[in-house]
Amino acid sequence: MALLEVNNLGISFGGLRAVDNFNISIEKGQLYGLIGPNGAGKTTVFNLLTGVYPPTDGSIVLDGVNLNGKSANEICRAGIARTFQNIRLFDKLTVLDNVKTALHNQIKYSLLSSILRTPAYFKAEKAMDKKALEILKVFGLDRIHEYRASNLPYGMQRKLEIARALATNPKIILLDEPAAGMNPTETQELMDMIRFIRDNFDVAVLLIEHDMNLVLGICEQVKVLEYGRIIAEGDPIKVVNDPKVITAYLGE
């Protein structure tokens, strides 16, 4: 059985059917792309998968665990992490603390030991620092870990968001337009990075992207959404040459 198994997923906002009959099955370590014109419902799919919206129908099963009706934080603990289209960092916290916050469920100690500063506190904090710096190092952010997140340049903020998602120790990571606002060099870097985290952190990746270079460069499979429905799927090269897909993007 696949790592993530989504069947017949759908949601209606009043009379609007935003996502309809969405199926996807992602294997362990797979790089999966989700593309489609603006307003097709790609981000809505992410919001359904991560529990931001409860699906009207359909089922989401991760590693044999049914995630239907779970809240966003429970779904994250089950193993789905995500980034956002418009970056959502903890602006007033430092780079390091952003990642350490995401380690909340990995390394624990009680409220009492944080008030009394017991040895357990110091031990756990030290372990958190180590782990967080390790993750930051992958993104080249470790040397600026004392900066406030809001003071980072745009590209680094995007990287930090991925680092933070990775720190929750996910089985699958959903990236919502990771290359948005990046120049070609940065995009190339990002592609290498996504491959690197797939190989070294043992995660599957599902990404939304408009940059076709990135999609064709790293995705093993893609799905194309239009008006909430899947109109094409399969091998990236074949899909982007599919007349239906070209029509969806460019019109008749």
Among left, alpha and beta (phi > 0; psi -120 to 50; other), residue 58 is: left
Going 169 to 68 to 231 to 209, the CA torsion angle's sign is negative
For residue 18, CA distances in Å to 55, 83, 181, 219 come to: 11, 21, 26, 25
Question: Closest approach of Cβ 148 to another protein, in Å?
Answer: 8
Nearer to another protein (CB atom), residue 97 or residue 233: 97
Burial of 2 (0-12, 13-18, 19+ CB in 10 A): middle
Residue 68 C-beta-side C-alpha neighbours within 13 Å: 16
Question: Closest approach of Cβ 21 to another protein, in Å?
Answer: 26
Nearer to another protein (CB atom), residue 115 or residue 250: 115
Question: Closest approach of Cβ 74 to another protein, in Å?
Answer: 8
Nearer to another protein (CB atom), residue 98 or residue 221: 98
- Tell me the three state secondary structure of residue 185: helix
CB contact at 8 A, 150 and 92: yes
Radius of gyration of the CA atoms of the chain, in A: 19
Contact residues for another protein, defined by CB under 8 A: 50-52, 71-74, 76-77, 81-82, 84, 88-93, 97, 100-105, 107-109, 111, 114-117, 121, 124-125, 128-129, 143-144, 146-148, 151, 164-165, 167-168
Nearer to another protein (CB atom), residue 11 or residue 128: 128
CB contact at 8 A, 63 and 29: no
Nearer to another protein (CB atom), residue 165 or residue 224: 165
Question: Closest approach of Cβ 104 to another protein, in Å?
Answer: 5
Nearer to another protein (CB atom), residue 87 or residue 216: 87
Question: Closest approach of Cβ 71 to another protein, in Å?
Answer: 7
Question: Closest approach of Cβ 206 to another protein, in Å?
Answer: 15
Contacts of 38 (CB under 8 A, 6+ apart): none
